């Protein structure tokens, strides 16, 4: 490069040939022979060497006239231009560069700007720099003029965590320099937890003990982060790590036959993402109450009454729900002139009654529920 690219000098007319009027000062940053500078005039002189006007010292850059100049017959002004040639490779500001980019970065996002300078004369073709890139994988590319390394394809942390690029800077005569760029792809939490089922259901017996496990809920994170479970329930609780659902308050079928609960799974990403699922818990009843008779258990009938004459209507109940709460009556003796309707508790005569033969009867009525684990009461 030269200190100036336009050189001015003055001299008197008719001075002797080879009189110097200015000196060029140029340097080359290369070392050895490549750093030596030589000068020559390539434009401006006549093709007839006897008419040449300006010469230059090949090694010292001294500008001089080759012959006497007559002010009255020749131009009054001569200009000497120094033209730069592309004799220097661009210089990368950093030969090794580290950068980061989020996996959800949009196409065209600038990851990092590659800076390079050219020692040749500024604002000349010799100093213009063109960038090219070679990236593995080819998800990034460099802008030819700005040096911006930009996102060219969608990124996915789960598939690729780093991208290695070689960035080349070219100048006019294809002199080249290179920088190595390593881009780390930053994970973005873009996947919601996924449950193993879209809906969960289970059942449990009423009065099951506290801490009884009723079901285990499982969810996974597409990005394999740690999962935490939670639920807001008065009846049940869930282990935040294992997803095991246990009883917090013993359920009562007679109070509520089923419960619909919401369970949330939250991943450990940044920011955390959560998903929810429903769990239906059906309560299986237990035969926990004995049938009971309500009201009186005695009656009278006239002798010789017609068969089927009503004597008394028994009434009873069972506090269990479902079949466990339905009751049936029966007389626990076959040696009696009476019958009982099993459903209604109606007691009547099924054979003639003779006061002189027997004036009173004592017999047992059994009240029984319809549960598979039937409970009986005798009165």
pLDDT, tens digit only, all 379 positions of the chain: 677 666 777 777 778 888 888 888 877 766 665 567 777 777 665 544 445 778 888 888 888 888 777 766 666 555 555 555 555 678 888 999 999 999 989 999 999 999 988 766 555 555 678 899 999 999 999 999 999 999 999 999 888 999 999 999 987 665 688 999 999 999 888 788 999 999 999 999 998 999 999 999 999 988 778 999 999 999 999 999 999 999 999 999 889 999 999 999 999 888 899 999 999 999 988 888 888 888 778 888 999 889 989 899 998 888 888 778 889 999 888 788 999 999 999 999 999 988 988 998 888 888 888 876 665 555 5
Q: Does the reported pTM lie above 0.75? A: no
- As beta bridge partners, residue 59 has none
The full DSSP string for 20-82 is EEEE--B-----GGGG-------SSS-SSGGG--EEE-TTT-EEEESS---TTTS-S---EEP
| CATH top class, domain 91-186 | mainly beta
As a whole number of angstroms, the distance between CA 276 and CA 263 comes to 5
Q: What are phi and psi of 323, to 5 degrees?
A: -60, -30
pLDDT for position 122? 56
Q: Quick one: which of 310, 311, 317 has its CA closest to 295?
A: 317
pLDDT for position 59? 82
Architecture of the 1-83 domain: Sandwich (2.60)
pLDDT for position 127? 63
- Residue 371, CB-side half-sphere exposure with 13 Å CA sphere: 22
| In the chain, domain spans | 1-83, 91-186, 194-284, 292-378
Can you give the C-alpha Rg of the chain in angstroms? 53
Beta-sheet pairing, 346-349 with 365-369? unpaired
pLDDT for position 188? 84
Does the domain made of 292-378 have the CATH classification 2.60.40.60?
A: yes
| Topology, domain 194-284 | Immunoglobulin-like (2.60.40)
CB 203 within 8 A of CB 219: no
């Amino acid at each position: 490069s030269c200190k100036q690219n336009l050189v001015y000098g003055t001299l008197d007319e008719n001075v002797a040939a080879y009189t110097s009027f200015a000196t060029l000062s140029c340097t080359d940053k290369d070392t050895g022979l490549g750093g030596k500078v030589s000068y020559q005039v390539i434009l401006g002189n006549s093709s007839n060497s006897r008419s040449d006007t300006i010469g230059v010292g090949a090694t010292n850059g001294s500008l001089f006239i080759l012959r006497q100049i007559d002010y009255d017959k020749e131009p009054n002004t001569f200009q000497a231009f120094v033209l730069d040639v592309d004799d220097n490779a661009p210089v990368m500001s950093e030969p090794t560069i580290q950068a980061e980019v989020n996996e959800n970065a949009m196409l065209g996002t600038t990851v990092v700007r590659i800076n390079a300078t050219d020692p040749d004369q500024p604002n000349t073709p010799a100093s213009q720099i063109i960038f090219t890139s070679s990236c593995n994988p080819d998800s990034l590319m460099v802008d030819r003029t700005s040096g911006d390394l930009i996102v060219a394809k969608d990124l996915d942390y789960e598939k690729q965590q780093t991208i290695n690029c070689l960035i080349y800077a070219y100048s006019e005569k294809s002199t080249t320099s290179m920088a190595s760029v390593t881009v780390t792809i930053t994970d973005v939490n873009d996947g919601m937890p996924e449950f193993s089922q879209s809906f969960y259901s289970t059942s449990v017996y009423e009065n099951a003990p506290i801490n009884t496990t009723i079901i285990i809920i499982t969810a996974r994170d597409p990005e394999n982060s740690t999962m935490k479970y939670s639920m807001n329930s008065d009846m049940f609780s869930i282990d935040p790590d294992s997803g095991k659902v246990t009883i917090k308050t013993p359920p009562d079928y007679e109070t509520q036959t089923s419960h619909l609960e919401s369970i949330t799974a939250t991943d450990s990403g940044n920011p955390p993402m959560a998903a929810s699922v429903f769990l239906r818990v059906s309560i299986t009843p237990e035969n926990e109450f004995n049938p009971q008779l309500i009201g009186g258990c005695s009656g009278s009938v006239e002798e010789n009454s017609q068969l089927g004459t009503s004597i008394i209507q028994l009434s009873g109940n069972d506090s269990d729900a479902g079949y466990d709460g339905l009751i049936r009556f029966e007389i626990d003796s076959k040696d009696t002139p009476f019958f009982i309707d099993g459903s209604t508790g109606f007691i009547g005569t099924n054979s003639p009654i003779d006061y002189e033969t027997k004036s009173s009867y004592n017999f047992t009525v059994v009240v029984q529920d319809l549960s598979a684990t039937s409970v009986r009461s005798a009165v």
